[in-house]
Structure 1
Amino acid sequence: MHSLKRLSWTIGKVRSKNVVKSTFESQLRCISKMETPQGQKEQPRISLSIPTGEMGQPTCHTHPHLIPAGQLTCGVSQAEYVNRRDFFVRKLQMEMENEHLNHVIVIPAAAKQYMTEKIPYTFRQNSDFYYLTGCMEPGAVLVIIKPAQTDNYQTILFVHDKNSHDEMWEGPRTGCNAAAKLFAVHEARPIESFSKYLSRTVSTKPCVLWYNRETASNPEIVTIVCKTLEQNTMRWGDPQRVLHFMRVIKSPAEIELMKETCCIGAQSINMAMACTKPGVSEHSINAVLDFTSRQGGAEHLAFPPVVAGGHRATHIHYVANNQLLHDNEMLLVDTGCQRWLYNSDLSRTWPVNGKFNPYHKILYEIVLTAQKRLIQLLGEQRQPLDQLFDQMCRLLGTYLQQERILPHNIDGNELIASAYRLCPHHVSHYLGLDVHDSPLVRRNVAVQTNMIVTVEPGLYIRNDDHSVPAEFRGVGIRVEDDVLITDSDPIVLTADAVKEIDDIEAIVGKHKEYTLRE
């Protein structure tokens, strides 16, 4: 394992693929070119340029090795964030029942979280807030004011202002003076003024207050907003559904970011295979995943990974990762990494000793064959993910029956139910800024171009499952890839992670010989 540090780690740019421009991007272009209706004042223009100097987050000036020139965050320009807010307001406007009311939209950043006294968790920004601003600072609030009977709106970003004492301990802040220019908003104010500003704004004229009360990313802001709602007679709306329907369709810039994080995740899986052999601990494989992901450019893993040897893989969310791996066991790994808040999520299963035994091989080929067919169906039928789950159960049931693992005297719903018992989780979810992205977009919606979804069939056969022949018990297998929906064939973004039996057997245990390919 110590030779791991001597391995060369180079990730080249992900293979370029022509992806059809999304409906989302074309809508943004149309919005940016809309003419102001007669009789209305023109929307105040925002200057688009990245200020120099040290800010509260990396910029293209302070971290040119991370962010290309002219971009606010890696891969995404100020203009894209402005256009997202434009589109967001237009979409909310379509849901507004009364154009004669003012509309106040409040989107908070996440607050810092602490594991113990003065020991913070790694900060993770609220995805909705980040999607609209590109701001990575904790405790901020985006407020959008849309007056009645006009298409214009005002964006105000409340942030922690400069404070030399606090910055000595916690690092630099952007501050109000630079925040408006950096994040391309109309105005920036100190966060301490948010409560009075909101109260004054909603009490001046009748309005609708848009705020998601269910997801408390910042408890202090929840208290302020709920108190404002109690003290004033106004309508309330939840903006999150509109945001999730926007986020589920990825822009070209987001697709490139997803390609990068998926490539890093795939390479980390390959390295984990190369470092696997009998006697190695699950904890060590966990460390390999973390190390290679970070060295490849990810901030950290996307979630606590599953590294489950033998029968432990039948526990779908096993994350203890504290046992030794033994000869003739299979190892199931479910992992992913986060790069600029975009996440990969993939699973592979391989033999600890590098060679599939006959029974493990049968189960693995069933899962792999089903997964390949499900990816094809996504392109051919563009069906909702719930229907893809039904297809998975039918495929697994049929294949298991063909191998005499399930009895031949069952069919139809009984066969589907038997397959569901052996794979009780869903086959797919949306993927992006969150691992389970855009949860308000239900999985009964037909997939669309530029969605990214997982495809992850599995089989989990417990040691005490006497409905299955003994030689197949005590095994958990899952094969999961991240798939971009296009106008033609789906693109597997995690294709660099090997999954064919011959390729797996050629890598497992070969960490002294294996170098991550460019």
Structure 2
Amino acid sequence: MHTFRRFSSQLCVRYPRRLVKSPLGVNRCMSSTEKPSDLLIHSSKIPKGILGQPTCHTHPHLIPNGQLTCGITQQEYKERRDSLLSKLLEESEHIHKSHILVIPAACKQFMSDKIPYVFRQNSDFFYLTGCLEPSAILVMVKLALDASYKTILFVHEKDSHAELWEGPRTGCSLAASLFGADEARPVENFNNYIHRIVSSTKPSVVWYQNESPANPEIHESVRSALRTGHVSLEEPQKYLHQMRVVKSPAEVELMKEACYIGSQSVNLAMACTKPGISEHAVSAILEYSSRMSGAEHAAFPPVVAGGARATHIHYVANNQILNPEDMLLVDSGSQRWLYNSDISRTWPVSGKFSKHHRILYELVLAVQKRLIELLSEHRPPLDHLFDHMCRLLGMHLQQEGILPRNIDNNELIGKAYRLCPHHVSHYLGLDVHDAPLVRRRVPVRTGMIVTVEPGIYIRPDDESVPPEFRGVGIRIEDDVLITDGEPLILTDACVREVDDIEAIVGKQSI
């Protein structure tokens, strides 16, 4: 049984890597084996000075000494680049060619004239570099006759006028040492460089995401360089996503933190839920709690849906008042150093499940528990897990008399699918729907983190079910790490049993 011990947003993670509160109340990463004296050891790899992103020198409350980003070292980013290039070189048709890999950072997006959205780095670029600066470009060049490859990072050069408005930049003089690249060049030089390197290394293969490019500003430069002849174009993303879908130990620790923060934010939202509160207020509690506990921001716009609004799966208006008889469905997540949690819970606004709401909720919970057991027993592909969900939902709904008993198995599965039309699982990591080029038909394996999220959505006008069950949406979603043994539920701190939910809903004042 979960015990909800505190409603404070200042949380400490009970996992091997924990959040450590600084005197200012800001949380940072610290490994379970780290000693206070370790923080004083000088790191020769991370340059000092005010750079374009936090470092262990400027933000010791966020990043331990010697790490490039929270929890991850320069060496791990380099090993990822090594591993990616090794995978690309395994392609037999390109074995005697030179290889040029181009991975752009995201560029700034604007909500209106001169007003930017909060910048979010391109996940593939961040995974290989740890760089958080916009419009940068990673280039890796492996010449056909060379045993090694060269890493060039294109970044914005230092510019006092631009930095006056936008904040500090790392600049070329320090970018190579900060990110472990062989050299750094100004982004303005990329066009000339890509044309020169492509034309001088024929035959060659350029690895570049041609579809939906991360930075449209450089897209034509790459495309025009490809027109010089004796150059082929290949997409690197499928190889990257095969790497990203299996998490390193450092990534697992970051995911544990994001999941714990997200879990406690949902617990606090439950505790603050009372009749008459607005969905918007619950959404604000989720964000406040997450950010005060170390998340940069929400992983996605949350769903906070009371009553029948929960039957709209992507309801994000969050602008209604919650009534005593409503069930409240919340789907939210926290992002910490670009790693995401994704949690769904459903609870009664009044703090007490009605008879029929409890039947539906415990039905969904039983299905979810069985699906997690199946991940342990058989390691099925996620598509097979979805098939199991439809069968289990149909069987339980039939047993409760919500679906008719005189229908065959195929019709039963079809009716269950109609009541839960979304997939039951997706990969989770740097993106909420992580590594999308890894198909959900491959068996899960150790190091993957997946969601398990069965649901039931019964619209008010659905005459195929008894009226007492209509107008309610229920989803229970947890984030699960596949291990060599039992799966580890990373969001286990978020209460989900009926008694635990009823014990905390409405117990905290806003």
TM norm structure 2: 0.92
Match of 1:184 in 2: 180
Partner of 2:432: 435
Aligned partners of 2:350 and 2:330: how far apart in 1?
15
* Alpha-carbon offset, residue 441 of structure 1: 0.2
1:153 to 149, 156, 161: 149
Find 2:226's aligned residue among 229, 250, 275.
229
Single out whichever of 257-266 and 231-240 deviates more from structure 2: 231-240
Query: Residue 8 of structure 1 aligns with which residue?
Result: 8
Shift of 1:100: 2.1
The equivalent of 1:488 in structure 2 is 485
- Work out whether 1:243 is the aligned partner of 2:249: no
Aligned twin of 2:31 = none
Match of 2:27 in 1: none
1:102 aligns with 98
Distance 2:96 2:80 in 1: 24
1:507 paired residue number: 504
Return 5+ residue gaps in structure 2 as ranges.
1-5, 18-42
Between the two proteins, the alignment pairs up a number of residues equal to 479
**Judging changes above 3 Å, is the alpha-carbon distance between structure 1 residues 8 and 205 closer, same or farther for their aligned structure 2 residues?**
closer
Distance 1:392 1:149 in 2: 52
Aligned partner of residue 418 in structure 1, secondary structure: helix
- The separation in 2 between residues aligned to 1:200 and 1:227, in whole angstroms, is 12
Q: 1:66 aligns with which of 53, 62, 67?
A: 62
Does the 8 A contact of 1:48 with 1:78 survive in 2?
no
Contact 2:7 2:268 in 1 (8 A): no
Corresponding residue for residue 259 of structure 1: 256
After alignment, is 205-214 or 363-372 more displaced?
205-214
1:390 aligns with 2:387: yes
| Alignment-mate amino acid for residue 348 of structure 1 | R
Aligned residue in 2 for 1:451? 448
Matches within 5 A, 1:460-471: 460-471=457-468
Distance 1:228 1:96 in 2: 24
Aligned equivalents of 1:263, 1:222: Cα separation in 2: 39
In structure 2, C-alpha distance between the alignment counterparts of 1:485 and 1:326, rounded to whole Å = 39
Letter of the 1:196 counterpart:
N
1:14 maps to amino acid? R
| Offset from partner CA, 1:18-48 (integer Å, 9 cap, x none) | xxxxxxxxxxxxxxxxxxxxxxxxxxxxx97
Please state if 1:211 is matched with 2:208.
yes
The alignment status of 1:194 with 2:200, answered yes or no, reads: no
The answer for the alignment partner of 1:89 in structure 2 is: 85
TM-score (norm 1): 0.91
Which residue in 1 is equivalent to 2:123? 127
Q: Partners in 1 of 2:377 and 2:147 — Cα distance?
A: 40
Identity of matched residues, %: 65
* Equivalent in the alignment of 1:274: 271
| 1:332 aligned partner | 329
Partner amino acid, structure 2, of 1:507: I
What SS does the corresponding residue of 2:94 show, helix, strand or coil? coil
Q: 1:344 aligns with which of 341, 345, 348?
A: 341
Greater CA drift, 143-152 or 80-89: 143-152
SS in 2 for 1:97: helix
2:68–2:178 Cα contact (<8 Å) kept: yes
The equivalent of 1:35 in structure 2 is none
Measured in 2, the distance between the counterparts of 1:230 and 1:511 equals 64
Match of 2:304 in 1: 307
Aligned to 1:24: none
Change (3 A) 1:180 1:96: farther
- Letter of the structure 2 residue corresponding to residue 366 of structure 1: L
Q: 2:75 — aligned with what?
A: 79
Change (3 A) 1:7 1:249: closer
Q: Contact 2:342–2:478 at 8 Å: present in 1 too?
A: yes
What is the distance in 1 between the residues matched to 2:145 and 2:359?
65
Q: Deviations over 1:429-451 (max 9, x none)?
A: 00000000000000000000010
Aligned counterparts of 2:377 and 2:361: Cα–Cα separation in 1 = 24
Taking the aligned partners of 1:149 and 1:406, their CA distance within structure 2 comes to 67
**CA positional deviation for 1:152:** 0.9
Counterpart CA distance in 1 for 2:146 and 2:244 is 25
Counterpart Cα distance in 2 of 1:291 and 1:85: 36
Quick check: 2:382–2:426 contact (8 Å CA) kept in 1? Answer: yes
Residue 7 of structure 1 and its aligned partner are, at CA, apart by: 5.8
Aligned-partner residue type, residue 251 of structure 1? S
CA contact (8 A) 2:13 2:260 kept: no
C-alpha deviation, 1:257, in angstroms: 0.1
Say which is worse superposed, 280-289 or 216-225, in terms of deviation.
216-225
Deviations 1:74-128 (A, max 9, x none): 0000000011101010011112513221110000000000000000000000000
Over the aligned positions, Cα root-mean-square deviation in angstroms equals 1.4
- Rounded to whole Å, the distance in 2 between the matches of 1:266 and 1:411 is 39
Contact 1:202 1:232 in 2 (8 A): no
Give the letter aligned to residue 464 of structure 1.
Answer: D
Q: Following TM superposition, by how much is the alpha carbon of 1:245 offset from its aligned partner in structure 2, in angstroms?
A: 0.1
What CA distance in whole angstroms lies between the structure 2 residues aligned with 1:224 and 1:416? 51
Counterparts of 1:124 and 1:99, CA distance in 2: 35
The residue type paired with residue 433 of structure 2 is: H
CA distance in 2, matches of 1:92, 1:505: 53
Structure 1's consecutive aligned runs of 4 or more residues displaced over 2 angstroms after TM superposition are 6-10, 13-17, 230-233
Q: Aligned partners of 1:364, 1:389: CA distance in 2, in Å?
A: 19
Which SS does the other structure have where 2:93 is aligned?
A: coil
Gaps of 5+ in 1: 1-5, 18-46, 514-518
1:323 aligned partner, one-letter code: Q
Rounded to whole Å, the distance in 2 between the matches of 1:96 and 1:340 is 36
Residue 231 of structure 1: how far off its partner (Å): 4.1
Q: Aligned partner of 2:277: which letter?
A: V
Give 1:216 shift: 2.0
Q: Deviations over 1:447-492 (max 9, x none)?
A: 0001000000000000111000000000000000000000000000
8 Å CA contact 2:176, 2:182 repeated in 1: yes
Cα distance in structure 2, aligned partners of 1:372 and 1:507? 22
> Separation in 2 of the partners of 1:370 and 1:386?
16
Give 1:217 deviation, angstroms. Answer: 1.5
* Aligned-partner residue type, residue 172 of structure 2: C
